[in-house]
A and B are shown apart, each in its own frame.
Chain A
Amino acid sequence: MSNDQIIRVVGLSHRLGRFELAIPELTMERGYVLGLLGRNGAGKSTTLGALVGLIKPAAGDITVLGLPVRSAAVEVRRRVGFVPEQAAFYDGLNATQTAAILAPFYPGWSDKLLQRYLTRFEIDAKQPIRSYSKGMRVKLALALALSHAPELLILDEPTAGLDPVVRQMVVGEIAGLVKDGRHSVIISSHITSDLAIADYIGILDAGRLILHDDQEQLRERWRKVSGATVHAPSDPTGLFLSYRRDGASFAGVTDHYSTEWRSQVEQAGLRLDVVAQLTLDEILAYATGQRNLSDDAREVA
Chain B
Amino acid sequence: MLLTLDHASGAPLYQQIVEQVRGAIIGGRLAAGDALPSIRQLAADLVISVITTKRAYQELESQGLIITLPGRGTFVAEIDAAAQYATTERALAGQLDDIVRQAQSLGLSGDDLVAMLRERWHATAREDAK
**Which one, B7, B10, B104, B105, contacts A193 given CB within 8 A?**
B7
A3 CA / B14 CA spacing, docked (Å):
26
- A-B pair count, CB < 8 Å, reads 65
Q: B41 interface residue, CB < 8 Å from A?
A: yes
Q: B120 interface residue, CB < 8 Å from A?
A: no
Q: A152 interface residue, CB < 8 Å from B?
A: no
Q: Given the known inter-chain contacts A216-B55, A271-B104, A273-B102, please indicate yes or no for A196 contacting B40, CB distance below 8 A.
A: no
Q: Which residues of A contact B91 (CB under 8 A)?
A: none
Q: Which residues of B contact A31 (CB under 8 A)?
A: 50
- Number of A residues near B (Cβ < 8 Å) is 30
A179 CA / B101 CA spacing, docked (Å):
42
What is the minimal beta-carbon distance from A155 to any residue of chain B, in angstroms?
Answer: 15
What is the minimal beta-carbon distance from B43 to any residue of chain A, in angstroms?
Answer: 7
Inter-subunit contact B105/A273 (CB<8 Å) = yes
Q: Which residues of A contact B51 (CB under 8 A)?
A: 32, 199-200, 214-216
Please tell me the size bucket of the interface on B. 20 to 34
User: Which one, A5-13, A118-126, A170-178, is touching chain B?
Assistant: A170-178
Inter-subunit contact A179/B44 (CB<8 Å) = yes
Q: Which residues of A contact B104 (CB under 8 A)?
A: 228, 271, 273
Inter-subunit contact B47/A178 (CB<8 Å) = no
A202 CA / B47 CA spacing, docked (Å):
19
Residue of B nearest to A214 (CB): B51
A181 CA / B50 CA spacing, docked (Å):
10
What is the minimal beta-carbon distance from A170 to any residue of chain B, in angstroms?
Answer: 11
Q: Which of B52-70 contact A (CB under 8 A)?
A: 52, 55
Q: Which of A243-301 contact B (CB under 8 A)?
A: 271-273, 276-277
Q: Which residues of A contact B11 (CB under 8 A)?
A: 277
Q: Which residues of A contact B47 (CB under 8 A)?
A: 168, 171-172, 175, 196-197
Q: B94 interface residue, CB < 8 Å from A?
A: no
A227 CA / B102 CA spacing, docked (Å):
10
Residue of B nearest to A200 (CB): B51
Q: A180 interface residue, CB < 8 Å from B?
A: yes
Inter-subunit contact B105/A228 (CB<8 Å) = yes
Inter-subunit contact B40/A178 (CB<8 Å) = yes
Inter-subunit contact B40/A197 (CB<8 Å) = no
Q: A175-B47, A215-B49, A216-B51 are in contact. List 13 more A-B contacts (CB 8 A).
A: A32-B49, A175-B44, A179-B43, A179-B44, A196-B7, A196-B49, A199-B49, A215-B51, A215-B52, A216-B55, A228-B105, A271-B101, A277-B11
**14 residue pairs A–B, Cβ–Cβ below 8 Å:** A31-B50, A168-B47, A175-B44, A175-B47, A178-B43, A178-B44, A179-B40, A179-B43, A180-B40, A196-B47, A196-B49, A199-B52, A216-B52, A273-B104
